[in-house]
Structure 1
């Protein structure tokens, strides 16, 4: 088998194309440039990929398949579990496919079929995050949450991924604070001396324990998100969940 048709030529084309797309942009990269970088003829590249957009389609396939898998699994869950399965799944997929996101961020020019799949994924994810019977408020917050998931992973590659993930989930929790029966309550804005912290209600306690179980927030973070003092949050989070407690201000 000659070099042009060797089994690994296809993967080499993908690797070189991805590098050129990142370095100089998708639009500015031609099939001839890809071929020259590989020491092949343009015809050899066309043998494997009949058009440039088919290269982008194949580069994007693993990410798109992972995202669709997240949505397939979420659609079998209860609404609240599904919502956070989508939020965390999309965020983790974003960290796992930064190269493709960087290429796509420059220009989504391969409208068929990659762009249509991206739109379909976003529409399905937005519906799951918004929840059944969602109104305008829920739908807008769901779409805003989707918008913030990939960009932190892409734009903060110099920072520790686990820290970026924690902050992105914190931002998502704030956007979704009024969606769902057990969503995280709205955070309290800086208050004056005359303001009183809210009591640790059952809903806030449940939200605080979910955040604690996730292991992504400090007690101070949790206190801020549920709107109680750090001392109150610490007292409840270190108590026996089965032990009843009086409300505290």
Structure 2
């Protein structure tokens, strides 16, 4: 197998960059592959050469974000959760969100992107893993509610304030999340 030529690889990267800009400006659903081709300018066939479909292009855009977040969660697997281990896992995951804040904003703000089957499946897998890391595997419904609030607040803080100094953003988010998690730990178990 031969390595891709610099020109082909450059075209692929230009297509991805143009797609991000157009998706952010017009939304995923309202942007066509022809519009992406027109902006570059390349032919629509050139776009299809690199990406089978718009969904394939989207999957390629979000893959590095999801792969990084999953790797951070894998590295943070906690045997017996301790406050220090939980904080380290939370901080590592948050740092991943901060590193990808522009793409996280793109993913969370566009309903068509969030509903895309590839994005939805990966996002749900990440949700399950962060929930397990932070709250354990045997969550009841109140724990799941808090877990949703935790992840939602983290995404919101990063999307709205991702350009802020991480040294300022990180402790505020971590302390707020830990406060939410304490409400679950203090809550008495309810027998069903």
In 2, are the aligned partners of 1:98 and 1:153 still within 8 Å (CA)? yes
1:169 equivalent in alignment to 2:174: yes
- Give the TM-score normalised by structure 2: 0.82
1:3-23: CA deviation from partner (whole Å, max 9, x where unpaired): 9x7221111111111111112
* Distance across 1 between alignment mates of 2:119 and 2:89: 20
Q: Find 1:107's aligned residue among 90, 106, 110.
A: 110
| Counterpart residue number, 1:119 | 124
Change (3 A) 1:115 1:135: closer
For 1:88, the equivalent position in structure 2 comes to: 91
Q: Structure 2 CA distance, aligned partners of 1:134 and 1:103?
A: 30
Match of 1:7 in 2: 9
CA distance in structure 2 between the partners assigned to 1:97 and 1:15 by the alignment:
15
CA-based RMSD = 2.5
RCO higher in structure (CA 8 A, sep ≥6) = 2
Instruction: Name whichever structure is richer in helix by fraction.
Output: 2
Equivalent position of 1:144 in the other structure: 149
Q: Which has the larger radius of gyration?
A: 1
For 1:126 and 1:148, the matched residues in 2 are separated by 13
Q: Report if the CA contact (8 A) 1:26-1:107 is conserved.
A: yes
Give the conservation status (yes or no) of the 8 Å contact 1:87–1:146.
no
Contact kept in structure 1, 2:89 and 2:133, CA below 8 Å: yes
Cα deviation, 1:67-101, whole Å, max 9, x if unaligned, reads 11122122254322553233222211111112211
For 1:121 and 1:98, the matched residues in 2 are separated by: 16
Compared with structure 1, are the counterparts of its residues 76 and 176 closer, same or farther at alpha carbon in structure 2 (3 Å cutoff)?
closer
Say if 2:46 is the partner of 1:44: yes
1:79, 1:132 within 8 Å by CA — same for their partners in 2? no
TM-superposed deviation, 1:152: 0.6
Give 4+ residue runs of structure 1 displaced > 6 Å after superposition. Answer: none
Q: Which runs of 5+ in 2 are unaligned?
A: 187-192
Report if the CA contact (8 A) 1:91-1:149 is conserved: yes
Q: Distance in 2 between matches of 1:82 and 1:139?
A: 20
Give the 3-state SS of the residue equivalent to 1:116 in structure 2: helix
Report deviation, 1:31.
Answer: 0.5
Q: How does 1:1-249 map to 2 (within 5 A)?
A: 6-80=8-82, 81-110=84-113, 111-157=116-162, 159-178=164-183
TM-score (norm 1): 0.64
